[in-house]
Amino acid sequence: MTGRQLHILAVSGSIRAESKNRALLEAAQLLAPPGARITLDWSLVTLPHFNPDLDTIDGHTRPPEAAHWRERVGAADGLLISSPEYAHGIPGVLKNALDWLVSSTTFPGKPVASLCASAMSVFGPAQLRETLTTMNARFVDDASIVIPVPGAGATSATIAADTELAKALRDALDAFLGAIERGS
């Protein structure tokens, strides 16, 4: 990898304390190559419900949490989401956060990859891809995979120490960072 360090914003679609998806993103932080810096973002916990009345053109009525979320996403070189599936869809907190980005002028063309920590999930990842491509994100398919994290009690350390899981995660990161650098 060449050039400046890429900044990746990582967002877990699950906000529960023992989230496997969050552990997967924390493992990605441990395994990231020197050319990339991955920052976990916690905006989903505090974002207010999306309301178009508050999402004005000039942004004067936009809640500060939503404005900061948009700024952080806008400033990142790429957005890495890892999300569970809830009732064959994506969690409401994640959809809410994405709705706050719909009118953002910096989001179209943003490189996005989506991970999922559960092998059972089919509909959630597909729905997330559909929403992101509708929002004109640059969805990186090669980097968007399900990485089945087994059982309860998974941590970033146990994931990073598992040869198969760590390889899958490294491969996804390489594909994502490569696509960002190539602009493809």
Q: Which is nearer to ligand FMN, 118 or 131 (CB)?
A: 118
Q: Is 14 in the site for ligand FMN (CB under 6 A)?
A: yes
Q: Where are the alpha helices (DSSP H) in 36-162?
A: 43-46, 64-75, 92-99, 123-134, 156-161
Q: What's the N-to-C CA distance of the chain in angstroms?
A: 15
Q: Which is nearer to ligand FMN, 41 or 85 (CB)?
A: 85
Tell me the number of residues near ligand FMN by CB under 6 A: 14
Q: Which residues of 60-74 are buried (b: 16+ CB within 10 A; e: fewer)?
A: eebbeebeebbebbe
Q: Is 57 in the site for ligand FMN (CB under 6 A)?
A: no
Q: Is 125 in the site for ligand FMN (CB under 6 A)?
A: no
Which of 53, 87, 151, 163 is in the footprint of ligand FMN by CB under 6 A? 87
The least CB distance from residue 29 to ligand FMN, in Å, is 16
Q: Is 85 in the site for ligand FMN (CB under 6 A)?
A: yes
Q: Which is nearer to ligand FMN, 88 or 167 (CB)?
A: 88
Q: Structure tokens of 159?
A: 């994931």
DSSP state of 146: B
The answer to whether the Cα torsion of 65, 71, 74, 76 is positive or negative is negative
The least CB distance from residue 9 to ligand FMN, in Å, is 18
Which of 86, 95, 162, 170 is in the footprint of ligand FMN by CB under 6 A? 86
Largest CA distance in the chain: 49
Give Cα 18 distance to the centre of its chain: 17
Q: Contact residues for ligand FMN (CB under 6 A)?
A: 14, 16, 19-21, 84-88, 117-118, 120-121
